[in-house]
A and B are shown apart, each in its own frame.
Chain A
Amino acid sequence: MSTPDNDVLLRVDNLVKYFPVKSSGYFQKKEFVHAVDGVSLSVRRGETFGIVGETGSGKSTLGRSIARLYDITAGSITFDGQEISQYSQRRMRPLRRQIQMVFQDPMGSLNPRRRVGSIIGDPFAIHGLATGAERKRRVQELMERVGLNPEHFNRFPAEFSGGQRQRIGVARALAFQPKLIICDEPVSALDVSIQAQVINLLADLQAEFGLTYIFIAHDLSVVRHVSNNVAVMYLGQLTEIAPADDLFTVARHPYTGALLSAVPLPDPDLSERREQIILVGDVPSPIAPPSGCRFHPRCPKAAPVCVSTIPVLEPKLGDKPAHVAACHLPMAQGENLADFHPTIAAAQRVIEGGGLLSGDEAEVSTVAAEALATSDTPQPEGRRQ
């Protein structure tokens, strides 16, 4: 990855995005999905900023809000010095050339009724950048650059394999040579063997064009290799942000700890010795998130303060300013989450809005198999903690 300088390309402050819930009755009070609830982050030029979190934690909503595919509920987005959070779609148009997206579903993000050449030619057509033979030439150039056969421009998306479809998506995003590409789980839908190819392609393109990435994944093992900085997301909020190396050596937030324990280790001996922390219970409803720390109903370290007080995202235990965590009882280095049990009574672990977790459910069990994150992710070689 290219060396990041201190120049900030994107700054997000207190971003909030709520979706209205279709209410069933006339007299019900209006409810909202708190998909993104006060997220702040900054992304430097040329870096890869990873965002991880379980499905439903709001990663896609965050990415799409930054790309202004949504009108945001509150907060500010400063891109390349411009405050774009309130821009109309019309005003956003020229900026679309600077911020692009690669989507999770390589089939769903390509129009099944249009030929690949015209799909990749869309950026040129929409912004009137090239027509006719010139457009075709540039489309074929892009196809070649992302490792597709340029002769296949006349085919439909269904005639390509999953990995090739994602390359089509990358080519389309690359057409403008944007400053920022938001990759929303670009490899999650791909076979493990193909994931690395697409990740390598993204890395090559970053080096060649000086791109900045926001790289979203639900799986730490994917982001750890590509990211300079990683943010961990839970129920619409960031729980920890850290330089990638720091996060994998000294995770402060118990949620990060739980995610990390699910990442398979290359060394089977080490894997056996380490216990995996399985989070029990479902992710609480984002319509009525838990009070205090949103992770408290599932956290092994949960204490009364966690229920009553919202933790602030700040450096913990003498960490450098770039490493922040939102937790009242951060983990010390070498601490084993499996040794902890919540010090709050089961009855206190009330999820706002209704559901109670029984003591049994709330207990964190230590199981060796079945991980929170999928365990069939590519095995990073020679990487150990």
Chain B
Amino acid sequence: MSSSPEVRGRHAVKPTATAGAGAGTAIMEPSPAAKKIEGRSPWRLALERLRKDRAAKIATGTIVVIVLCALLAPLIASWVGHGPNQLFVDTGLDEEGNPLAPSSTFFFGTDSNGRDLFIRVLYGARISLVVGVLATLISVALGTFFGLVAGYIGGVVDSLIARLIDVVLSIPFLVIAISIAYISHPGFWLVVFVVGVLAFTYPARIVRGQVMSLKEKEYVEAARALGAGPLRIMFIDLLPNVIAQVIVYGSLLIPLAIVSEASLSFLGVGIPPPTADWGSMINDASGYYQAGFWWYLLFPALALLITTLAFNILGDSVRDAMDPRGAGIYE
């Protein structure tokens, strides 16, 4: 290792009256190359642990399939020859105008309007995934920002943000839904925004807690000694140290956002019809499944269940892989 300084014969420490050689200069520093720390990157370690996790592998596989369904939905639709909003008044309903059971023409059966449920479930995945990811990005960005500010600045600012979090947490979901209903044009972006903003509290709390302990570290003191301002300390020094936690909890927010979106749509204040959406499909089915039209409810509900379950399992695995007690990535 060339970084060790050459041993100097001269006496660099203050000369002493009867001094001989320098005090202890002759001992070489042990080279760290000898005890090379294997791939210090915590990400690589976490990834390796994830690879060994069977549940994570199954969940990842499931998510890949769901994503493929969403991406390929138009292709599959044109191949089957059924559009998502196409009404098959003649072929898709029975004589009494009721939905048709699954068949070789309609794999998942049809709905009360004679639309192909299979194609609609595929298209529904698009809404769920896009809303889930976008809303989570909003939650994580807002939460990280507020958490950093509250944790680092502290004082009055922290109290204000803490109150804001309390207020948001105390608002029942139904109240939000009813409020949205009063807005004349609920739509895609409103849903993304509402779901995203509501969930910012979780990452905000986690980041705030982390930052409160991290800001006592000497490297923050060192940054202040160099003249770094609060913004730089928050975003250059502290952010890289909380990002792992943020990603872990972010991955757990995706299924929450998907369920929230489906709930809003189920209540009729989410994605407006006729867009194919699992939540509104479940709502549509509510008057039918007891009358024996089981497929009407089953397929959208199953799609929602499998998707949120897969994201939850993966999120848990990611958390386990990065667990502080697991491998000490948080010093």
Contact = CB atoms under 8 A, between A and B. Distances in A.
Interface of A: 1, 64, 67, 69, 89, 92-94, 96-97, 99-101, 103-105, 107-114, 122-123, 126-127, 147-149, 152, 156, 158-161, 163-164, 169, 172, 192-197, 199-201, 203-204, 224-227, 244, 378-384
B1 A149 contact: yes
B30 interface: yes
B103 interface: no
B226 A96 contact: yes
What is the size category of the interface that chain B forms with chain A?
Answer: 35 or more
A148 B18 CA distance: 33
A105 B217 CA distance: 10
B23 A380 contact: yes
B219 interface: yes
A113 B226 contact: no
A152 B4 CA distance: 13
Given A103-B222, A114-B237, 18 more contacts: A94-B227, A97-B227, A99-B225, A111-B219, A112-B219, A113-B241, A114-B236, A122-B228, A158-B40, A160-B32, A164-B32, A172-B226, A196-B22, A200-B12, A200-B25, A380-B16, A382-B16, A382-B17
Interface of B: 1-5, 8, 12-14, 16-25, 27, 29-32, 36-37, 40, 217-219, 221-229, 232, 236-237, 240-241, 243, 331
A382 B222 contact: no
Contacts of B22: 196, 200
Majority DSSP secondary structure for residues of B touching A: loop
Nearest to A383: B16
A123 B17 contact: no
B227 A127 contact: yes
A101 B223 CA distance: 10
A111 B3 contact: no
Contacts of B232: 126
Contacts of B223: 111, 122, 126
A192 B23 CA distance: 10
Nearest to B30: A161
Given A97-B227, A112-B331, A122-B226, A193 B24 contact: yes
Contacts of A227: 14
A110 B219 contact: yes
B227 A64 contact: no
